[in-house]
């Protein structure tokens, strides 16, 4: 079968399409025929070598790419899934030589969920990594009051706004001015991205918000918007600010969770979570997908189809 891998770090040109053996599932695993795989910023960071430099991924001769998968179960006896079931899943072991950028993938059963009904594989593939990240970040927040979400027009940020709104929180969203209508549609009040963020948020929420989900990695600028003793969730290694004013700073580290993913899939079916596809390309054009992601401005994810 074909898969896209990295043997050396660099720009999109280092992505290689190679022939590899079809993976065989072990106990507690399923093999999935991939119909769609989303392209995420973490894939760019892996390809460029940033995660290895940061000590997140150990040095490897070959690295697979791709966390998100939508596909069809091929093998999974005793897994609870039947051959032919449409599923989605998350590959969270990123130091392996085979990822979701492939024609087939093996995942632990615990990382897999039924695909949301009524959506294309490309749409379904945009859900796992970003929605689970948003949900697990929100789990770290204990407030039932006001939460600020930075990067609210992005994939993770949009899910965070929608989930917080569904939870009954008052949500204030930070995004560019051109995305105001979009994030208000998710259920948020709006503050434009820019200088003096803390002051402008506090003008809307006197005393500051109870918590921040900092998906845009604004750090101290976002921390200024939190009340003393509030909560702050960081989304990348090294992005957590100093916990000034007694703010409790925590970090979300994404993990695969098939049961939670199934719940999130149901929320897409009821319209709570919007699935956004920025474009669909064949697996052979993975480099082009990385170039488009690096160029910025996407609203949703580019999806690769083997």
What is the tens place of the pLDDT at every residue in 234-255?
Answer: 998 788 899 999 999 999 999 9
Cα(36)–Cα(305) distance, integer angstroms: 5
Mean pLDDT of all residues in the chain?
A: 95
At 266-285, the pLDDT tens digits run 999 999 999 999 999 999 99
Mean pLDDT, rounded, for 127-150 = 97
**pLDDT exceeding 70 applies to what percent of the chain?**
99
Mutual angle of helices 286-295 and 41-48, in 10-degree steps: 110
pLDDT value, residue 239: 85
CB 115 within 8 A of CB 265: yes
pLDDT value, residue 80: 86
Joined together, the tokens standing for residue 67 give 């966390």
pLDDT value, residue 13: 96
At 17-31, the pLDDT tens digits run 999 999 999 999 999
For strand 29-38 and strand 68-75, is the pairing parallel, antiparallel, or unpaired? Answer: antiparallel
For strand 226-234 and strand 209-214, is the pairing parallel, antiparallel, or unpaired? Answer: parallel
Cα(26)–Cα(120) distance, integer angstroms: 29
Q: Which contacts of 188-195 are long-range, i.e. CB under 8 A and separated by 24 or more positions?
A: 188/149, 188/152, 188/161, 191/148, 193/150
pLDDT value, residue 54: 87
Mean pLDDT, rounded, for 48-71 = 94
What domains can be seen in the chain, in order of their start residue?
Answer: 2-127+275-305 (3.90.180.10), 141-251 (3.40.50.720)
Mean pLDDT, rounded, for 5-9 = 97
Rounded to two decimals, the pTM is 0.94
CB 38 within 8 A of CB 5: no
Distance, C-alpha 129 to centroid of its chain:
4
At 140-170, the pLDDT tens digits run 999 999 999 999 999 999 999 999 999 999 9
Confidence of residue 299 (pLDDT cuts 50, 70, 90): confident
Which has the closest alpha carbon to 135: 162, 175, 98? 162
Radius of gyration of the chain (CA): 19
CB 169 within 8 A of CB 145: yes
Mean pLDDT, rounded, for 55-80 = 91
Residue 61 has pLDDT above 80, yes or no: yes
Residue 77 has pLDDT above 70, yes or no: no
pLDDT value, residue 190: 96
φ, ψ dihedrals at 37, nearest 5° = -140, 125
At 160-217, the pLDDT tens digits run 999 999 999 999 999 998 999 999 999 999 999 999 999 999 999 999 999 999 999 9
> Looking at the chain, how many residues does it have?
306
Tell me the β-bridge partners of 148. Answer: 172, 212
């Amino acid at each position: 079968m074909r898969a896209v891998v990295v043997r050396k770090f660099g720009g999109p040109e280092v992505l290689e399409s190679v022939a590899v053996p079809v993976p065989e599932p072990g106990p507690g695993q399923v093999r999935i025929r991939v119909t769609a795989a989303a392209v995420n910023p973490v894939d760019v960071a892996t390809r460029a070598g940033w995660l290895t430099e940061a000590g997140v991924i150990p040095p490897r001769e070959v690295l697979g790419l791709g966390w998100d998968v939508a596909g069809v179960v091929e093998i999974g006896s005793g897994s609870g899934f039947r051959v032919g079931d449409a599923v989605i899943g998350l590959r969270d072991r990123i130091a392996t030589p085979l990822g979701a950028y492939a024609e087939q993938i093996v995942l632990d059963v615990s990382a897999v969920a039924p695909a949301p009904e009524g959506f294309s594989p490309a749409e379904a593939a945009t859900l796992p990594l970003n929605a689970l990240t948003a949900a697990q970040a929100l789990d770290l927040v204990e407030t039932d009051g006001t939460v600020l979400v930075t990067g609210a027009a992005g994939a993770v940020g949009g899910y965070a706004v929608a989930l917080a709104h569904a939870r009954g929180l008052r949500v204030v969203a930070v995004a560019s001015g051109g995305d105001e209508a979009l994030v208000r549609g998710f259920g948020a009040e709006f503050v434009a991205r820019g200088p003096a963020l803390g002051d402008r948020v506090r003008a809307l929420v006197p005393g500051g918000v109870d918590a921040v989900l900092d998906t845009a990695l604004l750090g101290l600028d976002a921390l200024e918007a939190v009340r003393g003793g509030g909560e702050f969730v960081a989304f990348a290694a090294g992005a957590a600010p100093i916990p000034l004013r007694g703010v409790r700073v925590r970090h979300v580290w994404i993990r695969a969770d098939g049961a939670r993913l199934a719940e999130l899939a149901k929320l897409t079916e009821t319209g709570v979570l919007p699935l956004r596809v920025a474009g669909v390309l064949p697996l052979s054009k993975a480099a082009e997908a990385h170039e488009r992601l690096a160029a910025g401005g996407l609203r949703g994810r580019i999806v690769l189809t083997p």
